[in-house]
Structure 1
Amino acid sequence: MSSSKTPIVIGYLMKIIALVAVIAIMLLAIGVEYFAITQIAKNLSSIITGTSKEDIVVKDVLKSLDIVLLGVIFFTMAASLFELFIQKIDSLPDWLSITNLDQLKAMMIKMIIVVMAISFTGKIITWDGETEIAYYGVGLAAVIAALSYFLLVKQEEK
């Protein structure tokens, strides 16, 4: 093999590896969304039949929302990786169009912060007065502060 063809072969191998990752993430996203839909159906059933207490229903609905958002994160990551490493997708909305890895990381961090906030809200709703929620909240706030600081630093580097 001549040395002039080596970069072409490496480029194709990188695209194949990226495509395998994109397919795996898409399958994971589909699985997560399927699970979310089954949970939502259970939630609707308990709401309609009135078989659960209000705080349990709210907690379960928030968990379902968490799962849906997790699936959306996986779909977003797959589309972004596809666009970043394989081919530009013209039909993507501007907010989802990724041109570099830093943009992808920033988008994922923002989505993770939203999921963490929803998860904590569910814990607050079902809180039974124990003090551990304060430690959980402080830990969560520290993680969100660190992630937000990371985003700020990356924004200032531009």
Structure 2
Amino acid sequence: MEKILEKSRNLILIAVVSSLAASIAAFLWGAAKTATIILNLVVSYGKDPLAAISLIGLMDTFLIATALLIFAVGMYELFIKDISLPEWLIIRNLHDLKVKLSSVIILVMAVIFLEHLVEWKDPQGTLFYGIAIAVVSASLIAFSHFRGKD
């Protein structure tokens, strides 16, 4: 039974490979979006009123790709084996992984709010949207300051 449990940790490779594939796809999608946005900027001579929104959305795509990469690397490091990484990406326990992902989630929400703010259709809706994002962000920041027992 112990050998089965020891080998079962390799099941995490499903999550690692899937997240890595999704991250690669998101980075490629971001690169394709970048090419399209640049082409649109050139064709419109930079006068496209939606260019700013497109550029902000581009950041969002790359942040999501980064979150998927952090998740894949973190799960591999936690369950399979340590790998040589920059200090900021080293994940020692589940709490470290949650904190790093929370940071990216906060950035994604900030970018989404900025997109919403640039479009500015409903002031009251934008205010409530901003408050909701602020509450979630504050919760994630507070969570990151409390050390888990993972």
| TM-score, normalised via structure 1 length | 0.87
Asked if the contact 1:43–1:61 (Cα under 8 Å) also holds between the matched residues in 2, the reply is: yes
Match of 2:42 in 1: 48
Match of 1:138 in 2: 131
Aligned-partner Cα distance in 1 for 2:133–2:51: 24
Cα deviation for residue 118 of structure 1 reads 1.4
Structure 1 stretch displaced more, 77-86 or 142-151: 142-151
Aligned-partner Cα distance in 1 for 2:66–2:103: 13
AA in 2 matched with 1:43: I
1:112 matched to 2:105? The reply is yes
Of residues 114, 118, 122, the one that matches 1:125 is: 118
1:67 matched to 2:61? The reply is yes
Aligned-partner Cα distance in 1 for 2:45–2:4: 60
Consecutive unaligned residues of structure 2, counting only runs of 5 or more, are none
Cα deviation for residue 129 of structure 1 reads 5.0
Of residues 31, 38, 45, the one that matches 2:32 is: 38
Over 6 Å off, 4+ runs: none
Asked if the contact 1:55–1:125 (Cα under 8 Å) also holds between the matched residues in 2, the reply is: no
Asked if the contact 1:80–1:98 (Cα under 8 Å) also holds between the matched residues in 2, the reply is: yes
Cα deviation for residue 19 of structure 1 reads 0.8
Aligned-partner Cα distance in 2 for 1:130–1:102: 37
Asked if the contact 1:55–1:126 (Cα under 8 Å) also holds between the matched residues in 2, the reply is: no
Match of 2:4 in 1: 9
Name the SS of the counterpart of 1:131 in structure 2: helix
Structure 1 stretch displaced more, 45-54 or 131-140: 45-54
Alignment RMSD (CA, Å): 1.8
Name the SS of the counterpart of 1:78 in structure 2: helix
Asked if the contact 2:41–2:47 (Cα under 8 Å) also holds between the matched residues in 1, the reply is: no
Name the SS of the counterpart of 2:71 in structure 1: helix
Greater CA radius of gyration, 1 or 2?
1
Distance of aligned partners of 1:130 and 1:53 in 2 relative to their CA distance in 1, 3 Å threshold = farther
Aligned-partner Cα distance in 1 for 2:109–2:56: 11
Percent identity, aligned pairs only?
Answer: 25
Aligned-partner Cα distance in 1 for 2:106–2:137: 6
Structure 1 stretch displaced more, 20-29 or 42-51: 42-51
Aligned-partner Cα distance in 2 for 1:13–1:40: 41
Cα deviation for residue 27 of structure 1 reads 0.9
Consecutive unaligned residues of structure 1, counting only runs of 5 or more, are 1-5
